[in-house]
Amino acid sequence: MTSQKARDQFLDAVSYWEGNFHANGIGLNTVSGLTYDGSPLDYTSGESIDQPHLFSASSKESIHIGLLALALNGDQRALTFVLNTDQCMHFSSFHS
């Protein structure tokens, strides 16, 4: 993509939709704070059809910790991912 606007829109959308994985019982265990490796999905509906994989991987944990650190620093896309809402994108002056 050569357009900065198109790149920004793409990254905003990825942050929002990937944030749906960052939900308790889907990609995150809020009791332990660790991520799950994934969940079996119905490919038609996108709904989880079984228990999440009850293990994690260091690669996912490192991404998760990095996004948490960026969110604490006020990064808008990381906040959108972590809070699983696009409301953060409207508060661009939050941590300027």
Question: For residue 94, what are the CA distances in angstroms to 5, 30, 52, 71, 72?
Answer: 21, 25, 34, 11, 11
At 66 the pLDDT is 94
At 95 the pLDDT is 39
Enumerate residues 6+ apart whose C-beta is below 8 A from 88: 76, 79, 80, 94
At 71 the pLDDT is 94
Give me the residue spans of the domains in the chain.
4-90
At 77 the pLDDT is 93
> Amino acid identity, residue 94?
F
pLDDT in tens, 8-67: 999 999 998 888 888 888 888 888 888 888 788 899 998 888 888 888 888 888 989 999
At 59 the pLDDT is 85
At 92 the pLDDT is 43
